[in-house]
Amino acid sequence: MSEPIVLGIESTCDETAAAIVRGRTLVSNVVASSMDEHARYGGVIPEIASRAHAEAFVPVVSKALADADMSLADIDAIAVSAGPGLAGCLAVGVSGAKALAWASGKPIYGINHVIGHIAVTQLQFGAFPPDTLALIVSGGHTSLLHVKDVARHVDVVGTTLDDAAGECFDKIARLLGFPYPGGPHIDRHGQLGDPHAIKVPQGLTKGKAGKEHPYDFSFSGVKTAVARWVEAERAAGHEIPVDDVCASLADSVASVLANKAIRGCKEYGSETLIVGGGFSANSQLRAKLLEVGEANGVEVRIPQLKLCTDNGAMVATLGVNLVEAGVRPSPMDFSIDSAMPMDVISV
């Protein structure tokens, strides 16, 4: 089997998605989102998201197959996100995928959604180098990984000790009055402001904490500092310079992420840095990573915007890696794992 064809299915949070990947080629890609239904609550409501997955599952998978001009008989394997994510949401995707696998007799892989976020870069940049560093930045995760083999061996080099970068942005966005998810609003306003207007701390970069945690992250201090500053300005009756607040926050977070990731590459002798996760859509982070990467001779591979946020292509691409590596498919009674550890690639 030279170029495996894999159907990837994603339902960890508020996107129901399916895609077909052949080798490193994206053949079809369909995403339905229940985001609008959650916006007025200020965050994803699991029950609403699960119901939306149950509604969208068959239409989304059917469209992915139809767009590819394929039926289940044409694919070599099914891959589905088995975690981490919201339990009720994962259950819908995994149950649906198992039903398809059972009916068609195709092998199924329950995969780690987070690893999918970095696997998807292969559609643009080709296969992973055998030994590389990867930065995952999503709503729930901020970690630096050592990827020895994307199908078989991933180690955690560093991770956030408190909030994820996306979570930190979403919380400040809420304070500034932006709807959920707030990350893209901070991004947009940040492009208009002065990144040095407000002093925002850079967690775990200096002194003893910086030495002890060279590759770990902390964003709760950033969040508290910005929140206190905004509250004090409001109490003093001043108007909040929203663009400057967003620019300063974005600059601090992007600098810490880029500097630590590139430093990790040098330490591990990696000439590439693979980046993935919803937060990798952030323009300040993208610019900073490319700048610091170029200055240090590291090739930074960031997905195109539509493949940064949750999608089925990331799941299918990791599925292709598993098929190519000859990894055994998941047993039919595999479970979901809403807190799946980062070093588990498939179940």
Interaction between residue 219 and ligand KG4 (CB under 6 A):
no
Question: What string marks each residue from 4 to 43 as x (binds ligand KG4 by CB under 6 A) or -?
Answer: ---------x------------------------------
Q: Which does 14 bind (CB under 5 to 8 A by kind): Zn ion, ligand KG4, none?
A: none
Q: How far is the CB of 328 from Zn ion (least distance, A)?
A: 25
- DSSP bridge partners of 145: 134, 156
Q: Which does 279 bind (CB under 5 to 8 A by kind): ligand KG4, Zn ion, none?
A: ligand KG4
Interaction between residue 109 and ligand KG4 (CB under 6 A):
no
Q: Which is nearer to ligand KG4, 184 or 221 (CB)?
A: 184
Q: How far is the CB of 42 from ligand KG4 (least distance, A)?
A: 12
Interface pick for ligand KG4 out of 83, 107, 110, 181 (rule CB under 6 A): 181
**Strands of the 272-276 sheet, one edge to the other:** 153-159, 142-149, 132-137, 272-276, 299-301
Q: How far is the CB of 121 from ligand KG4 (least distance, A)?
A: 14
Classify residue 69 as left (phi > 0), alpha (psi -120 to 50) or beta.
left
- 228-287 residues in contact with ligand KG4 (CB under 6 A) are 277-279, 281-282
Interaction between residue 187 and ligand KG4 (CB under 6 A):
yes
Q: Which residue has the tokens 């199924």?
A: 108
Q: Report phi then psi at 133, rounded to 5.
A: -95, 150
Closest CA to 154 of 309, 316, 341: 341
Tokens of 66: 């139809």
* Numbers of helices and strands, H then E, in the chain: 12, 10
CA-CA distance, 186 to 315, in Å (whole number)? 28
Q: Which does 184 bind (CB under 5 to 8 A by kind): Zn ion, ligand KG4, none?
A: ligand KG4
Q: Which residue has the tokens 């949401």?
A: 89
Q: How far is the CB of 103 from Zn ion (least distance, A)?
A: 28
Q: Where are the alpha helices (DSSP H) in the chain?
A: 35-39, 46-67, 87-104, 113-119, 122-125, 165-175, 183-190, 207-212, 220-235, 242-268, 283-295, 313-325
Name the residue type at position 6.
Answer: V
Tokens of 263: 């430093």
Q: Which is nearer to ligand KG4, 74 or 343 (CB)?
A: 343
Interface pick for ligand KG4 out of 309, 317, 321, 330 (rule CB under 6 A): 309
Closest CA to 298 of 120, 123, 135, 118: 135
Question: What string marks each residue from 144 to 173 as x (binds ligand KG4 by CB under 6 A) or -?
Answer: ----------------------x--xx---
Q: Which does 80 bind (CB under 5 to 8 A by kind): Zn ion, ligand KG4, none?
A: none
Interaction between residue 138 and ligand KG4 (CB under 6 A):
yes
Interaction between residue 183 and ligand KG4 (CB under 6 A):
yes
Residues that bind Zn ion (CB under 5 A): 138, 310
The residues that touch ligand KG4, with contacts defined as CB under 6 A, are 13, 138-140, 166, 169-170, 181-184, 187, 277-279, 281-282, 309-310
